[in-house]
Amino acid sequence: MIYTVTFNPSLDYVVQVDDFAVGEINRTRAESIYPGGKGINVSLVLQNLGLPSVALGFTAGFSGAEIERLLQEAGCQCDFIAVKAGYSRINTKIISGAETALNGQGPQLSETELAALFNKLRRLTQDDVLVLAGSIPASLPDNIYEQILELLQPVGTRVVVDATGDLLLKVLKYRPFLIKPNHEELGEFFGRGPLLTEEEILAAAQRLQQQGARNVLVSRGANGALLLDENGKMHKQASPKGTLVNSVGAGDSMVAGFLAGYLQTQDYDAALRLGVAAGSASAFKAWLATREDVEKILASGTTGK
C-alpha cells in the first residue's frame, strides 16, 4: 500500500475577483473549495490514476472534518489523527489578474498526537511505500523526517521525500527510494542559483546519490524532468506543450504519476513518462489532473524525449 503524510493539511478557498481592491468590499465571480497539502495532492492524483493510497496526517475542527469528507468523496482512504485543539488551516487564494494568498497556521500538535502517528507508521512493511511531502508546522521538531526514516529503515519501507533544504538533505543518509527537487531547489542545496543545463543537473543529482538518495527526480517546469536512477542511468522527458494555469500541485502530481508508473511497470522510463504527463496535466488546469487528462497527454505523443 502507498501511504502519504500531510502534517498540516488545509482547506483551500479559491476565489476569482474582478479588480480586487484592498480596503473595499469585493464580490467573487467564482469560488471553489479544495482539500490541500502536498501529501493529500499525491493521494488524490494516485486515486485518479487508479492506485489506492491511505492519507495520513492531522486534522482538527470543522475544517479538518471537511478536508476528510472531500477526500472520501474523491474515493481516497483516510486515517487522520484528530487533533483536539484548534482547526485545520484555511488558505484563501484571491485570483484577480495576479494571485494573492493568505495561509492559515493550523493547529498545535501535542506529543501524544505525534506519537499516535508514529504508532501508525510502525505498521508499515517492506511492501509499502511512504510519501513525505512538504514543510512541517512550527510545533513539530525540525528533525521529524529523520525520525520517520530512522523508524522505517529496519523494515525496508520505500520512502519518497519531496521537501526543501535541510529537511531533505538530512534524510539522505537513510537512503530514501526517491527524492524530487526542482531545478531551483537543486541549485540551492549547493549554494547556487537554478541549475539550467542537463550537465549541471546530472552533476548535482550524482552528489545527492553519493549522500544516499537512490533515485533523484528533478522537475524542470516547461523543460520536463530528468531522472538519475539507482543504477546510475540518466533518463530525460520533455514536457508537452500547453498553457500554464496553476503550478500548485504539479510537482505532487509528478510524484504520483512516477510512483504509479513505476509500481505498475518497474520501468524507470515508463515511470518518468507518466510522471511528466501527470505533472503537466495538473499544471494545465485549475486543480489536479484526472486520469482522462493524463491519458490525453500520453495519447497525443507530446511527451517525447
Question: Any residues with CB less than 8 A from the CB of 190 and at least 6 apart, and which?
Answer: 204, 207
Q: Is 50 left (phi over 0), alpha (psi -120 to 50) or beta?
A: left
Torsions phi, psi of 31, nearest 5? -150, 150
Please identify every residue annotated as catalytic: 252
Write phi, then psi, for 90 (nearest 5 degrees). -115, 120
- Which DSSP letter does residue 182 get? B
120 — phi, psi (to 5°)? -70, -40
Residue 131 CA from chain centroid, whole number: 8
b/e 161-198 (16+ beta carbons within 10 angstroms → b)? bbbeeebbbbbbebbbbbbbbbbbbbbebeeeeebeee
Nearest to 51 by CA among 92, 87, 4, 104: 4
Report the candidate in 20, 41, 24 with the shortest Cα–Cα distance to residue 94.
Answer: 20
Strand pairing category for 225-228 and 215-219: antiparallel
Opening angle at CA 138, ends 155 and 254, nearest 5: 55
Q: How far apart are CA 237 and CA 305, in angstroms?
A: 5
Q: Which three cell numbers stand for residue 206?
A: 550524482
Residue pair 160/130 in contact (Cβ under 8 Å)? The answer is yes
